[in-house]
Homo-oligomer: A and B are copies of this chain.
Amino acid sequence: MIIVLRPDSTSEQIDHVVQRITELGLKPHMSRGELRTIIGVIGDENKLQAEPLQAIPGVEQVLPILKPFKLASREFSRGDSVVAVGKVKIGGGHMAQIAGPCAIENAPVLDEIAGHIKKAGANILRGGAFKPRTSPYSFQGLGEEGLKILRDMGNKHDMPVVTEIMDIRQIALVDRYADMFQIGARNMQNFDLLKEIGQTRRAVLLKRGMSATVKDMLMSAEYVLAEGNPNVVLCERGVRSFEDSTRNMLDMSAVPNVKSMSHLPIIVDPSHATGRPDLIPSMAFAAVAAGADGVHIEVHSCPEKALSDGPQALLPKQYAELMERVRRLAEVVGKTF
Contact = CB atoms under 8 A, between A and B. Distances in A.
Contact of A40 (B38, B46, B214, B291): B38
Number of copies: 4
A244 interface: yes
A35 interface: yes
Given A215-B245, A239-B242, A253-B279, 6 more contacts: A69-B135, A135-B219, A253-B274, A256-B283, A260-B278, A282-B290
Contacts of A328: 332
Contacts of A69: 135
B63 A2 contact: yes
Interface in A255-310: 255-257, 260, 273-274, 276, 278-279, 282-283, 285-291, 303-307, 309-310
Interface in A171-201: 186-187, 189-192, 195
B282 A66 contact: no
Nearest to A213: B243
Contact of A257 (B2, B169, B246): B246
A304 B20 contact: yes
Contact of A304 (B53, B213, B260, B291): B53
A152 interface: no
A109 to B, nearest CB: 14
Nearest to A52: B310
A11 interface: no
B303 A52 contact: yes
A138 B191 CA distance: 12
A278 B32 CA distance: 26
Contact of A286 (B33, B66, B289): B289
A291 to B, nearest CB: 5
A35 B190 CA distance: 31
A20 B310 CA distance: 15
B132 A189 contact: yes
A243 B252 CA distance: 12
Given A215-B245, A253-B249, A253-B274, A166 B192 contact: yes
Contacts of A257: 245-246, 276, 279
B168 A52 contact: no
Given A43-B33, A190-B190, A290-B285, A311 B241 contact: no
A7 B278 CA distance: 17
A249 B249 contact: yes
A242 to B, nearest CB: 4
Interface stretch (A54-62, A84-92, A118-126): A54-62
